[in-house]
Amino acid sequence: MKRDIFSDEHELFREQFKRFAKNEIEPKIASWNEKGMSDRESWRRMGEEGFFGGDAPEEYGGAGGDFLYDAIVMEELSYIRAHALMASLHADICMPYITEFGTKAQKEAYLPGAIRGEIILGIAMTEPGTGSDLANVQTTAIRDGDSYVLNGSKTFISNGQIGDLFVVVAKTAPDSDPPHRGISLLLVEAKTPGFMRGRKLDKLGLRGQDTSELFFQDCRVPVSNLLGGHEGRGFKQLMQKLQQERLCIAVASIASCRRALDDTMDYVKQRRAFGQPIAGFQNTQFKLAELATEVEVGQAFTDKLLAAHVRHENIVTEVSMAKWWTTDLQKRLTSECLQLHGGYGFMLEYPISTDYADAAVQSIYAGTNEIMKRIIARNLGLDLT
């Protein structure tokens, strides 16, 4: 069924990107997964071809289009399992902080390089002791003259080893009451003295993604790198951008579901047992019919939210619904598809095994699914405490 949110120009862009991905991304995926990191040349090639910043301002090198172009890149990378190339984190989660909240000087300094794929971006929110509780981060940034002295640690940071510039969540006023009023966002270059990369973390899934610890020890960050130029606005900035981040998760999850389902349907048609293809058994047919229906339901809801997001509607409640529902579906679907592969599903030579492992984190990052349900309940007026 044709998805009516995309124009002919969008679909032409999709075909261009699919050709690029087939020729320049797919051949590298196995190597990235083995090394646990993508390569910088691929980032530069993505930038050269104009696949970063589809909705970024033209004056900084962006295409000046809409978010649907970025969604296409997310979908196609997820479908080919190119999880190592964190394009959505870079272009659709981190870059918008600079685009929307950055000063003119900050935009000029960082946006052109990020759009060209020369400055790789990351965001440092999570800390060892805070998880989803952003208001209680312990990293501090205390002003000293023309600098902030940054001290603290972060963990589970994507692009932690390869990244060049990080949006760091820190407290510029540690004693603020309530705590969230003391939070600011700083743009921290990886070359800054006192910035230290910790371990590249060994994960269950998403093996090609570079996920790391970061440490800041008397790291002196210029005051000019305070995002937006005003202290205490960090929590509000984070909340404004979490809508797009959670929509990105839903977009990628549905694309991953579709790939796992497509591969499983091909497998059951070829694999034989008891004298017939597995696809001939009623259990197989019913299970795949149910999963295919759920993928289409999830796609329809996600497409509706994409269209609303492009119209700049406030859909925090709905993207929270989409984030938990699509990621929960991804976990269930990959489990069922692995089961249909039988013993071969447990073998790493079959991609469904990595799909199953990769799905595990989807309900955890970008706000756990429990947090999503809490947001939904509050916005439905159910929080009467």
Indicate the residue type of 268.
V
What are the residues facing 219 on neighbouring strands? 150
What band does 260 get if pLDDT is binned at 50, 70 and 90?
A: very high
Catalytic residues: 245
How far apart CA 25 and CA 381 sit, in angstroms, is 46
Q: Are 133 and 374 in contact (CB under 8 A)?
A: no
Is the pLDDT score of 135 beyond 90? no
Domain extent, residue 316, equals 236-379
**Is residue 240 domain-shared with residue 375, that is, in the same domain?**
yes
Residue 197 neighbours by CB under 8 Å, 6+ apart: 160, 161, 190, 212, 213, 214, 215
How far apart CA 150 and CA 143 sit, in angstroms, is 9
**Mean pLDDT across the chain, nearest whole number?**
96
Q: Please check whether residue 2 lies inside any domain of the structure.
A: no
| Count of domains forming the chain | 3
**Is residue 285 domain-shared with residue 338, that is, in the same domain?**
yes
The string of pLDDT tens digits covering residues 319-358 is: 999 999 999 999 999 999 999 999 999 999 999 999 999 9
Q: Which of 70, 99, 118 is the last residue of a domain?
A: 118
Contacts 24+ apart (CB under 8 A), 28-34: 29/80, 29/81, 29/82, 29/84, 29/208, 32/82, 32/84, 32/85, 32/208, 33/84, 33/207, 33/208, 33/354, 34/207
The string of pLDDT tens digits covering residues 151-208 is: 999 999 999 999 999 999 999 999 998 989 999 999 999 999 999 999 999 999 999 9
What band does 89 get if pLDDT is binned at 50, 70 and 90?
A: very high
How far apart CA 227 and CA 237 sit, in angstroms, is 9
**Is residue 242 domain-shared with residue 314, that is, in the same domain?**
yes
Q: Which burial class, exposed, middle or buried, applies to 185 when counting CB atoms under 10 A from its CB (0-12, 13-18, 19+)?
A: buried
The string of pLDDT tens digits covering residues 14-66 is: 999 999 999 999 999 999 999 999 999 999 999 999 999 899 999 999 999 99
**Is residue 191 domain-shared with residue 215, that is, in the same domain?**
yes
User: DSSP 3-state assignment of 135?
Assistant: helix
Q: Which of 85, 100, 118 is the last residue of a domain?
A: 118
**Is residue 296 domain-shared with residue 371, that is, in the same domain?**
yes
Q: Please check whether residue 3 lies inside any domain of the structure.
A: no
Would you say the C-alpha torsion 224, 168, 32, 193 has a positive or negative sign? Answer: positive
**Is residue 75 domain-shared with residue 149, that is, in the same domain?**
no
Q: Are 92 and 75 in contact (CB under 8 A)?
A: no
Residue 12 neighbours by CB under 8 Å, 6+ apart: none
Q: Please check whether residue 384 lies inside any domain of the structure.
A: no
**Is residue 250 domain-shared with residue 304, that is, in the same domain?**
yes
CATH number for the domain that contains residue 76: 1.10.540.10
**Is residue 240 domain-shared with residue 364, that is, in the same domain?**
yes
Q: Which of 64, 97, 118 is the last residue of a domain?
A: 118
The string of pLDDT tens digits covering residues 223-241 is: 999 999 999 999 999 999 9
**Is residue 81 domain-shared with residue 162, that is, in the same domain?**
no
pLDDT of residue 2: 86
**Is residue 250 domain-shared with residue 363, that is, in the same domain?**
yes
